[in-house]
Chain A
């Protein structure tokens, strides 16, 4: 039997201090009920002899220390999983939002999950074709990778995520594929953009949506990715799905972590974020990957908007230290009307070299990619130099670099008219552009690469 306690001592923000209780477990769930019978869910954050500190999952407006009762539920936050969750929409703590009845399952999983044993992991090395040249050729996404999109306010990160989700699906026909979408603190319109797109592509029935919009309780925002990833782990490692998890916007998530930490009067770290933000973010991002002898995989595509486009801000900075690369969007390219405006030089996929080359894409791909990076970097450098000294001060070769950099942006990065290129199309296009440069400049390519592709 669950006992109700009326010994609420104090309430401060989302934190409730309860006194005069028998021992309760750390992270145990607690349900508060007010005089009208309304429930509020919380979680034990600190427990001691005869007292506990609980954190509410929703607004504490309207509750006082005299009018509520607390019940300790004896369990931690969990999610009932089963194939029935496909096609459903939930809030941040796994309650249905789609006017359907709660799904039923005997299988309840702790949403905090457990760390995957590194020994059980399998290194991700299956190429995913996204149809986006700047990703496929230069910053390749592989199955089981966590590759965030670093964006800024007003940039088309949502559109890019939708395009990737749609086009990557096509490339893996015959296998079970699912999209899990976690929205944290984004607006209603933004969330509709995703839902409509999933509907159109028919992916909605194979998706699970978790929505916590801008006006929903902040604390649920912290639980949301954990519910989403619990669903992902179930689908991937027990049902054999290849799951693509889109989490947006991680900046809102981190803001929520900061808000709660401040309410708990914790010592703030850089820019007010708690010192454990790295570990906290890692507990989300690390729930991606492949497992030995398991069919499914979890690929994460978190989206975050960099405050003031600043890469060194704690949120992108800590994320970059955990994830396996990053796709960075450029405001300059966007303003010039290039879509997708991917800043290829600062973007990176750490798993690229394991996912490309002979037997995966094409044998010269790794060297060709390095050559494109080097030549484009050179071209951009010369572009700023010619802005100071004038183009006439450049040598003939330098001018070719300028031409290459322009063509690279206009034809290769820009895919306005041709949104979905196969990897071979992208590679052939790369060769077409690299031929702008004289052969002697192409130091990262091998003789056999040049013989096969440059001379034709």
Chain B
């Protein structure tokens, strides 16, 4: 395992520049730089490029030439400029101080950059990811003399009111013995513990772990994910649920509301930690999160949402190579929190931009292009990324389970779902929320098409729902879906023969389907109450609609006409039930009673 806990940061290691691991630039073309005679070059090594010390990564070695993708703008570099190999793969600092902050694609803190660089992002800044000055109260849970292994928790830091940050032994250490442990306020680089390994070497454990982003963090074992991730979004929770540790994809043309769906999930999901990766998207969207999340409260804990959120931003005009890295940076952070036994959700908006970055570097390397110019390894890279999700038994003691849910947005060109990124994503993600621009044009949001979308977790969640919500719920959900697909058929017929030719039972289906669409599936992200709906309320809402349907169907079966079996007060209630506050749900009981 390639781990370097002793190195402080790859970004401020200027002092370690030495002659014997440097080479000279021979060619520059966009983000691709070729260096000659770079000694000890290994694939994946991080290098400092040119006088400004731009960060680059070795992606190809050929003879004495090393090809680097550079994470910053290469304008102004010239052949003959020096390249210094740092000798370690692209790694990130993991430790207290990540939560509530925003970073660029290689984890440089954007708020610190703004202090130095003003409103624009300058090049070649070496700012450590985690604040070096801040003190954290470290509470140890191990004693000297105790044996420890990788993943064991040696102490805690109360990072915010609800996040207890575990300080863990790096995964590559086994059979160590604690020879010193602190109990006081520490800076992230201070020694929290000293561990002696079987070879007799002492290893300093600080509050920081360095981890190479392209390598998944190890776990004890993977589990089958079963508990739903409750998102408060009705169409998702009820019809196309996702589980803690599952994977989902949200493809859709522009303007169909991908980003709003992603933001809603980041806001309301009942995960402990959210990692939001803005990958090649709009700068203002990240600003939106930064401005809104401190004001919004987590429905579970009542604390500001920003306290549980880590933001990674590589906006569409930031360097392309760092876009490729941002996804890995994000998922490594997510795995780190998962290893503490937390449930983590990662949103990546958008994985298509990541794939495009891959394509751009591939074509600069003159690789043989595959479908639509994407490199042939697109599928395997995407699969490897989504496979880092999962419900797991974490490494080390105490025994704990964590989960990492991955939700990726996909931006198919022209909304065409047959394109390679969408297709490769569908092969590896288990939930598919298909966004539909026809629905978006009618301002039906979230514009998730109920006939095209699917979730392979429905069976897992059905048993959860019947245990925790109501034994009837799975049946109600089944009826809901069948009414919606029935409606689709009837609408086809309607177009040919007109409304008059429909039977009363068919008219009832159209009416109920309209209730389901307008008063249940449609949800306004910008309305204070409607933005989030608890599972309990979702169940009550759907029960009301379905029970009313059943009641009317019975009346019709007994020979009454559609007009006769009408309860205006129920209709009125259905239309406004989404705006009922969560603390006033008893009114549903009265309504449901009247439908028995």
Contacts and interface: CB of A to CB of B under 8 A. Distances in A.
A25 B282 contact: no
B415 interface: yes
B307 to A, nearest CB: 17
B416 A312 contact: yes
Given A317-B413, A321-B254, A118 B313 contact: yes
A141 to B, nearest CB: 14
Contacts of A263: none
A326 B315 contact: no
Contacts of A322: 282, 316
A287 B282 CA distance: 11
B75 A26 contact: yes
A351 to B, nearest CB: 8
B35 to A, nearest CB: 11
B78 A47 contact: yes
Interface in A266-290: 266-270, 275-276, 278-279, 282-283, 285-287, 289
Contacts of A346: 441
Contact of B255 (A50, A112, A320): A320
A23 interface: yes
Contacts of B359: 275
Nearest to A267: B363
Contacts of B313: 118
A185 interface: no
A63 interface: no
Interface in A110-137: 110, 112-124
Which of A45, A124, A144, A286 has the most B CB atoms < 10 Å from its CB?
A286
Contact of B76 (A45, A76, A266, A350): A76
A424 interface: no
A294 interface: yes
B120 A49 contact: no
Contacts of A348: 255, 440
Contacts of A123: 284, 287-288, 291
B569 interface: no
A318 B290 CA distance: 25
A266 B575 contact: no
Contacts of B518: 443
A419 interface: no
The size bracket of the interface on A is 35 or more
Nearest to A346: B441
A23 B130 CA distance: 38
A342 B242 CA distance: 39
Given A47-B27, A286-B282, A393 B499 contact: yes
Given A275-B363, A279-B316, A116 B77 contact: no
Contacts of B302: none
The size bracket of the interface on B is 35 or more
A47 B79 CA distance: 7
A395 B372 CA distance: 49
B462 interface: no
A283 to B, nearest CB: 5
A323 B77 CA distance: 31
B77 A118 contact: no
Nearest to B572: A440
A377 B120 CA distance: 43
Contacts, number: 201
Contacts of B555: none
Given A373-B443, A377-B442, A25 B315 contact: no
Nearest to A321: B254
A295 to B, nearest CB: 13
B413 A374 contact: no
Interface of chain B, helix or strand or loop or mixed? mixed
Given A287-B317, A314-B413, A119 B254 contact: no
Interface string B527-561: 00000000000000000000000000000000000
B113 A112 contact: no
A278 B369 CA distance: 18
Contacts of A378: 442
Interface in A299-322: 312-314, 317-318, 320-322
B297 to A, nearest CB: 19
Contact of A118 (B80, B110, B255): B110
Contact of B575 (A113, A345, A385, A443): A443
Interface string B70-102: 000111111111000000000000000000001
Interface string A19-44: 00001111110000000000000000
Nearest to A286: B317
A78 to B, nearest CB: 11
B283 A324 contact: no
B373 interface: yes
B286 interface: yes
Contacts of A113: 120
A341 interface: no
B254 A286 contact: no
9 contacts: A47-B79, A76-B75, A113-B120, A116-B121, A118-B102, A269-B372, A275-B356, A276-B356, A279-B360
Given A25-B75, A123-B288, A289-B283, 10 more contacts: A26-B28, A46-B29, A48-B26, A48-B27, A116-B119, A118-B313, A123-B284, A270-B413, A275-B359, A370-B443
Interface of B: 26-29, 34, 36, 73-81, 102, 110-111, 113-114, 117-122, 253-255, 278, 280, 282-284, 286-288, 290-291, 313, 315-318, 320, 353, 356, 359-360, 363, 369, 372-373, 411, 413-416, 440-443, 495, 498-500, 518-519, 524, 526, 575-576, 579
Interface of A: 23-28, 45-50, 76, 110, 112-124, 144, 237, 266-270, 275-276, 278-279, 282-283, 285-287, 289, 291, 294, 312-314, 317-318, 320-322, 324-326, 345-346, 348, 350-351, 353, 366, 370, 373-374, 377-378, 385, 388-389, 393-395, 443, 446-447
